[in-house]
């Protein structure tokens, strides 16, 4: 259902997380009124702690900011070109994090909250939408995220005639910096990379010998885990966010090749001895008083967590600002249920955005909020917005969600899984680069690097044309 250009009805956006906040901003910036419904603090989720909009529930990292070589860095760049509020607030609240864009979580959320509160076309209503939105709301964006409250999730499930797939992610502990023994640990970014806001020495590193590592893996495997309720027992994990003990169970060396890899790091306290494994902690707040344990999401019980993590050299006296934990995820079988503009086929007044659509991650969720906002505003203004180019990061991600997945038309068990943006989602280059600018042939890894850079350059160029063709018209209308 599409509202007319003369409609004075607002776009109703449910959920003011990463996606809903960005969507609200985009709709309002297009000159269309918004009512933004957020249930916190009236009703909290299992992971959110505050009443701030766009709260980051776990890591404070937006991952790589390298637009030429990394797909999420490219998505950052595209969102900035589209006037993203989430990127503006992230850039303004950056903390040092090597090659990554990490933020002061409170400063970031406060900036988003302020911008939305101050916007003359946005009204924020605090309260749970506990079921399908009223029929009178003819242009709705549902952006209630992985922890969508049960009554709304049930109503959507009933409408789609599917079992909304639930699975589990886990969050990592946060440590008070002044409780870390810096005579054992040291500051260094892997390969001394300084990145957008870093110094090359942004992570705290805790070294382990082989004996310590082996004992640590044994303790992880033996440690008491949070019990699953019966219906949760067969719920799968998303591979990008495996609990540390689940990784450890996959093989003795898995952690040494994953979050605990020792490469690119030299211990200044003992420079001649190469650590067998390294635990890294990344700055979590602007003040630099809190550090999160990178990749240490866990479903261990609180007691065993403290006991086991305090066996890590340098963390013997660690004080935890937050311990790790488990959470549920909820997302739609989007390729089947949503049209190319993210509208529910069964009820097109409902458009979906964020992690519920089957993307994964803060940045990806916000980017789908961004495009959902542009589509919703175009509907209200009775304009046609052509889809973003499939060669752009935004278009590639949207394509994956709304149709790119191979099982879209096939029967059988649903295989659609949440996805971070990655170069695998982009259409191949018509003519992959074979030579360097000086005419010599590219070899080995040089080819991969050149290919990524060519895909990125194509993405930004195509997106610029799309913006010029679509959004300048919108601005003038």
Ligand X SMILES: Cc1cc2nc3c(=O)[nH]c(=O)nc-3n(C[C@H](O)[C@H](O)[C@H](O)COP(=O)(O)OP(=O)(O)OC[C@H]3O[C@@H](n4cnc5c(N)ncnc54)[C@H](O)[C@@H]3O)c2cc1C
Contacting positions for ligand X (CB under 6 A): 14-20, 37-40, 45, 47-48, 57-59, 128-129, 143-149, 152, 169, 171, 327, 354-356, 361-362, 365
- Nearest approach in angstroms of CB 214 to ligand X is 28
Nearer to ligand X, 141 or 396 (CB): 141
Question: Rounded to whole angstroms, how far apart are CA atoms 187 and 207?
Answer: 12
Peptide bond into 146 cis (omega under 30): no
Nearer to ligand X, 41 or 288 (CB): 41
* Residue pair 101/76 in contact by the 8 Å Cβ criterion: yes
CB-closest chain residue to ligand X: 17
Nearer to ligand X, 350 or 450 (CB): 350
Residues 6 or more apart whose CB falls under 8 angstroms from that of 70 comprise: 63, 64, 452
Render 43-64 in DSSP notation, one character per residue: S--SS--SS-TT---S--EEEE
Nearer to ligand X, 29 or 360 (CB): 360
- Nearest approach in angstroms of CB 420 to ligand X is 8
Strand partners, 187: 204
- Nearest approach in angstroms of CB 290 to ligand X is 15
- Nearest approach in angstroms of CB 76 to ligand X is 13
Question: Rounded to whole angstroms, how far apart are CA atoms 65 and 323?
Answer: 28
- Nearest approach in angstroms of CB 354 to ligand X is 2
The Cβ-side half-sphere exposure at 345, using a 13 Å CA radius, reads 12
- Give which of 459, 172, 102 is closest to 327, Cα–Cα: 172
Q: CA angle, corner 31, sides to 35 and 51, nearest 5?
A: 35
Strand partners, 37: 14, 125
Helix ranges, 63-104 (H): 71-81, 85-92
Question: Rounded to whole angstroms, how far apart are CA atoms 89 and 113?
Answer: 10
- Nearest approach in angstroms of CB 152 to ligand X is 4
- Nearest approach in angstroms of CB 15 to ligand X is 3
- Nearest approach in angstroms of CB 156 to ligand X is 10
Nearer to ligand X, 82 or 129 (CB): 129
**The pairing of beta strand 174-176 with beta strand 320-322:** antiparallel
Distances (CA, A) of 157 to 152, 161, 218, 330: 9, 6, 41, 10
Nearer to ligand X, 75 or 385 (CB): 75
- Nearest approach in angstroms of CB 35 to ligand X is 12
Nearer to ligand X, 215 or 321 (CB): 321
Q: Is the dihedral of CA 215, 216, 219, 221 positive or negative?
A: negative
* Residue pair 376/22 in contact by the 8 Å Cβ criterion: no
Question: Rounded to whole angstroms, how far apart are CA atoms 97 and 403?
Answer: 35
Nearer to ligand X, 109 or 391 (CB): 109
What proportions of the chain, in percent to the nearest 5, are helix, strand and coil? 35, 15, 45
* Residue pair 59/172 in contact by the 8 Å Cβ criterion: yes
- Nearest approach in angstroms of CB 279 to ligand X is 17
CB-count exposure of residue 396 (10 Å: 0-12, 13-18, 19+): buried
DSSP state of 316: T
Nearer to ligand X, 97 or 208 (CB): 97
Nearer to ligand X, 327 or 405 (CB): 327
Nearer to ligand X, 267 or 297 (CB): 297
- Nearest approach in angstroms of CB 64 to ligand X is 12
């Amino acid at each position: 259902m599409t509202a007319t250009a003369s409609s004075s009805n607002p776009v109703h956006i449910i959920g003011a997380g990463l996606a809903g906040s960005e969507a609200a901003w985009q709709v309002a910036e297009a000159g269309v009124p918004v009512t933004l419904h957020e249930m916190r603090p009236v009703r909290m989720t299992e992971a959110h702690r505050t009443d701030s909009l766009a709260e980051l529930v776990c890591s404070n990292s937006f991952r790589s900011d390298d637009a030429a070589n990394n797909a999420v860095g490219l998505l950052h760049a595209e969102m900035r070109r589209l006037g993203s509020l989430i990127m503006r607030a992230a850039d303004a609240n950056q903390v040092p994090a090597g090659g990554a864009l990490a933020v002061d979580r409170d400063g970031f959320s406060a900036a988003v909250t302020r911008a939305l509160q101050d916007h003359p076309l946005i009204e924020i209503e605090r309260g749970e939408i506990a079921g399908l939105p009223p029929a009178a709301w003819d242009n709705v964006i549902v952006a209630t995220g992985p922890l969508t409250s049960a009554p709304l999730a049930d109503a959507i499930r009933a409408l789609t005639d599917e079992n909304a797939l639930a699975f589990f992610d886990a969050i990592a502990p946060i440590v008070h910096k002044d409780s870390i023994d810096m005579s054992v640990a040291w500051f260094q970014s892997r390969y001394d990379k300084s990145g957008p806001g870093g110094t090359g020495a942004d992570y705290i590193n805790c070294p382990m010998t082989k004996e310590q590592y082996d004992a640590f893996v044994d303790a992880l495997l033996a440690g008491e885990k949070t019990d699953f309720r019966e219906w949760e027992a067969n719920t799968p994990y998303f591979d990008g966010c495996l609990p540390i003990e689940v990784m450890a169970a996959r093989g003795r060396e898995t952690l040494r090749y994953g979050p605990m890899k020792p490469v690119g790091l030299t211990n200044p306290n003992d420079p001649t001895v190469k650590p067998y494994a390294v635990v890294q902690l990344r700055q979590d707040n602007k003040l630099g008083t809190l550090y999160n344990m990178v990749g240490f999401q866990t479903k261990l019980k609180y007691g065993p967590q403290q006991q086991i993590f305090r066996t890590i050299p340098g963390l013997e006296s660690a004080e935890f600002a937050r311990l790790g934990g488990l959470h549920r995820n909820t997302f739609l079988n989007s390729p089947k249920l949503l049209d190319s503009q993210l509208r529910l086929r069964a009820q097109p007044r409902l458009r979906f955005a964020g992690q519920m659509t089957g993307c994964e991650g803060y940045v990806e969720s916000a980017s789908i909020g961004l495009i959902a906002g542009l589509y919703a505003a175009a509907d209200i203004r009775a304009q046609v917005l052509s889809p973003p180019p499939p060669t752009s990061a935004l278009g590639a991600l949207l394509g994956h969600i709304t149709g790119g997945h191979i099982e879209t038309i096939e029967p059988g068990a649903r295989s659609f899984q949440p996805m971070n943006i990655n170069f695998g989602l982009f259409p191949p280059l018509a003519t992959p680069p074979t030579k360097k600018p000086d005419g010599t042939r590219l070899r080995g890894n040089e080819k991969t690097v050149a290919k990524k850079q060519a895909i990125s350059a194509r993405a930004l160029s195509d997106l610029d044309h799309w913006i010029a063709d679509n959004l300048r018209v919108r601005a003038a209308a």
